[in-house]
Structures are given as C-alpha cells and as structure tokens.
Structure 1
Amino acid sequence: MNVTVDTVSVDLAGTRVVSGVDFLVGDGEIAGLVGPNGSGKSTLLRTLYRHLRPAAGRVLLAGDDLWQRAPAASARLVAALPQERATDFELTVAEVVAMGRTPHKGAFSRDNAHDRALVQGALQQVGMDGLAHRPFTGLSGGERQRVLLARALAQEPRVLVLDEPTNHLDIRHQVELLALLRGQRTTTLAALHDLNAAASVCDRVHVLSSGRIVASGAPAEVLTPSLIAEVFGVRADVVTHPLTGGVLIAFDHITPLP
C-alpha cells in the first residue's frame, strides 16, 4: 500500500511547525524521515497514525484520504510505534502484544487461535517470545521497545509508522530490528536520528529542516557531506561501507563547524 503525504501542514498551539510537505512512500518501500531535533519529524508522523489532524493537505493511503476513514478502519491498515507512549501497562508481555489485535475484533470478542498465533509470531520476530509471560513493567527500556514493535506487527498493518524505532536498543538489537524491517517489507515510514541506520535500511530518505522537506531521494544521492553540514551542522564524509558496500557516513567528532 502506498502512502502519499500531499502538501501537509501541521500547527501546534497556533504555530506552524510543518509546512507544505510532499512525498510518496511506495508500496513495500522503507522510507526514512531524517532531520535535526525540532525539525517536525514526530509531528508529521502523528498525522499518519491519526494522532494529529493536518491543518492543511492530506495523507492518502492508496489514494484514499486517511482522515476520511473511521478510526477502526484506519487502525486495521496503519500501525504505529510513537515516541510518546504509555509504558506502565499492568499486563504481561503477551497481553500487551495482543492489544495489536484490537482493530480486527469486536468489542467483546476473545482472542482465538489465529490471534494467539500472530502474537507468538510477532514476539518471535523481535526476539521476545521467551518473555511472553513476564510483566511488561518489569522489562528494560530496550525490551519494552521490542514488545511495542511486536504489538504493531501483530496488528497486521499494511503501513508501519515508526518514530525512532532503535531508541533504547543496544547495537545487536538495532541491527536485528533493521534487518527485520528490510526482510518483511511492509510499507514503512520511520523517523531516524541515526543517519547510518537510515542509509542502511531505507530505499529513500526525506530530509526535514524547519518543518520543510529540503531533499528527497536514495540515501547515496541525498546524504552528502554538503547537505549534512547545511542541515545538521556537522562535518562528515561519505564513504563505501567496508562490510556491506553501501553508504557509510563518517562524522568528525573533533572539529565542529564554525
């Protein structure tokens, strides 16, 4: 399912923080949204999972306006891993993941064998199946992050919206999560701080600065030293990754830009 962000503007407390953003996420594509803190990444993502209505423009799923759908119908198509999320569920890990099945069920429906199989499969995908009966509140931050991703996967979405999905994860689980995203190929839009993660996993990246898109394209085309200096204010070089052959961004951590 493709996603079109069509001239979307978003206001917060009377201030425009996202202005006239346009881009397309193709069916099965992994798109990265990158930019410095305060550039509007999380605000824009909120319009894709119906947490914040655009002040102008539209979000289209396969050509249909997301905000014209009923909330439950939208939830059957779009699953989100937002930054602002409750993490004090008095539930087991498996029960938290089972919440992802809610859009597909009636108000008083019990979980059936299909639901339980999807929950188990999602936990296996994120490497948390061995902790299914643990209390969610007893998990570390990284473990909670993986459980909440499993909840999104159990939702069987056509579109994934992920806001800093590698947040709290150690390097091994960051690599595993990025490999999972590449492998399952659900249409995905992810806000990422780590430019090397974006370069390794994304088919296209969209660079947001001061609420506007300033560049879009393949990572090798967009993540150039000049753009990184202009948008992020740091000195960097872009080289060939010695292990993957992809893009590797080397940052100068010694000499700041004037």
Structure 2
Amino acid sequence: MRIDIEDLHVSYARRTVVAGARLVAAEGEITGLVGPNGSGKSTLLRTVYRHLRPTAGRVLLGGTDLHTLSPLRSARHVAALPQERGGDFELTVREIVAMGRIPYKRPFAGEDDTDRESVARALAGVGMSAAADRRFTTLSGGERQRVLLARAFAQDPEVLVLDEPTNHLDVRHQVDLLVLLRAQRRTTLVSLHDLNAAASVCDRLHVLHDGAVVASGPPRAVLTPEVMAEVFGVRAAVVDHPLTGDPLIAFDHRTPAPQIGRR
C-alpha cells in the first residue's frame, strides 16, 4: 500500500517543525528519511502513525486520508516502531509481541492459532524465539528493540513506519535487521542516521533539512558530496562499496566542510 505525503505542515509549541513536505513511499519499497538532528524526520513519521495530527496537508494511505480512518482500521494497515518506547513492561517477551494482534481481536477475546503463529513467526524473524518467556525488563536495549520490532511484524501491517530502528543494536544485529527489512518487501518508511545503512537498504531517499524535503531520489543520486556539505555540514567522498557496489560515503574527520550553501 502506497503512502503519499502532500504539503505536510506540523507545528507545536508555536514552532513549525515540518514545512510543506511532499514525498511518496511506494508500495513494496523501502523509503528512507535522512537529515541532521532537528530536521523533522521523527515529527513527519509521527503523523504517519497518528501520534501527531498535521497542522496542514495530508497523509494518504492508498489514496485515503489516514486521519479519516478509525484508529482500529489504521492499525490494521500501519505498524510503527517509534523512538519513544514508553516505560518498562512487566510482561514476557511473548506477551509484548502478542500485543501486535490487538487490532484483530474482539474485546476480551483470547489468542487463536493465527495469533500464535504470527507471534512465533515474528519472534523467529528477529532472532528472539529463545527469549519468549523472559520478562521484557530483563532484556538489554538491543534485545528490547528487536522485541518491539517483532510486535510490529506480528501486527501484519501493509506499511511499516520505523524511527531509527538500528538504535541500540550491535553491528551484527544491525545487518540482520536491514536484511530482514529487505526480505519483508512491505511498504516501509524509515528514518536512519547511518547514511551508509540508508544507502544500502533504501530504494529511495528523501533528505530533510529545516523541516523541508530538499532532495529526493535513489541513494546514489541523493547522497552526493554537495548534499553532505550543504545539509550535513561535512566533507565526504562517495565511492562504490567494495563488497556490495552500493554507494559508500567516506567522511573526512579532519577537515570541516566548506560553508557554501550552509544555513
């Protein structure tokens, strides 16, 4: 299912955080949001998983204004892994992941075979099957991240919205997660700080700066030395990754970027 974001404006605390953003997350593709801290990535994603309502503009889910749908109906289409995780849960890992099945259940209804299969598949997908009976509070930060991702998978959404999903993960589990996202082939809208990860996993990137989309396109067309200098404030060269052929951004950690175009 396709996501269209049309002329999106989001303001709070008397400050405009997203200003006229336009972008598309095509069906079955991984669409990445990149940009410096404070550029509006998380705020934009929060409008897609309905944590925030736009000040102006629309988020369309398969052509329908997302905010005209009931929370239950939208939850059957869109699952999110936000940065804000809430408090600790005094529940087992399996119970946390089973929460992803709530949009499909009548009040007070118990689990059925479909629920149990979905939960087991989601846990296996993130490598947490062996921890199913552990308390969520006993897990490391990276393990908690994988469990919450499994909860989103158990929701069986058509659209995944992921805000910095590789946070707290070690290198191996970052790679595993990115491989898993590619294999899912769901419509995925994801923000990433790691530009090389974004270049590897995303079909299309949108660069945000000061709340606006300033560049869009395939990673190789978007992640240029000029964008690195103007938007991110760093000197960089873009070369071919020796193992995958993806764009690889090599940062100059010794020399500040030129001030041309900097805001």
TM-score (norm 1): 0.99
Provide the rounded CA distance (Å) in 1 between the counterparts of 2:112 and 2:2.
30
Provide the rounded CA distance (Å) in 1 between the counterparts of 2:124 and 2:236.
37
Provide the rounded CA distance (Å) in 1 between the counterparts of 2:87 and 2:250.
35
Quick one: which amino acid aligns to residue 136 of structure 2?
Answer: F
Deviation string 1:216-244 (CA, Å, 9 cap, x unpaired) is 00000000001111000001100000000
Whether 1:9 and 2:3 are equivalent positions in the alignment is no
How large is the Cα RMSD of the aligned pairs? 0.7
Spell out the pairing of 1:24-35 with structure 2 (5 A cutoff): 24-35=24-35
What is aligned with 2:64? 64
Quick one: which amino acid aligns to residue 88 of structure 1?
Answer: D
Quick one: which amino acid aligns to residue 101 of structure 2?
Answer: R
Whether 1:213 and 2:216 are equivalent positions in the alignment is no
Stretches of 4+ aligned residues off by more than 3 angstroms: none
Verify the 8 A CA contact 1:87 1:144 in the aligned structure 2: no
Provide the rounded CA distance (Å) in 1 between the counterparts of 2:13 and 2:85.
21
Spell out the pairing of 1:24-103 with structure 2 (5 A cutoff): 24-103=24-103
Q: How many residues align?
A: 258
Provide the rounded CA distance (Å) in 2 between the counterparts of 1:239 and 1:45.
30
Provide the rounded CA distance (Å) in 1 between the counterparts of 2:109 and 2:137.
26
Provide the rounded CA distance (Å) in 2 between the counterparts of 1:59 and 1:117.
32
What is aligned with 1:172? 172
Provide the rounded CA distance (Å) in 2 between the counterparts of 1:232 and 1:244.
24
Q: By how many angstroms is 1:164 displaced?
A: 0.1
Provide the rounded CA distance (Å) in 2 between the counterparts of 1:246 and 1:68.
39
For the residue of structure 1 that corresponds to 2:243, the secondary structure is: coil
What is aligned with 2:202? 202
Verify the 8 A CA contact 1:78 1:157 in the aligned structure 2: yes
Deviation string 1:101-143 (CA, Å, 9 cap, x unpaired) is 0011111111111101100100000000010000000000000
For the residue of structure 2 that corresponds to 1:91, the secondary structure is: coil
Percent identical: 67
Q: By how many angstroms is 1:197 displaced?
A: 0.5
Provide the rounded CA distance (Å) in 2 between the counterparts of 1:188 and 1:69.
20
Q: By how many angstroms is 1:162 displaced?
A: 0.2
Provide the rounded CA distance (Å) in 1 between the counterparts of 2:156 and 2:254.
45
Q: By how many angstroms is 1:13 displaced?
A: 1.1
Deviation string 1:55-104 (CA, Å, 9 cap, x unpaired) is 00000011000000000000010000000112400000000000000011
Q: List runs of 5+ in structure 2 lacking aligned partners.
A: 259-263
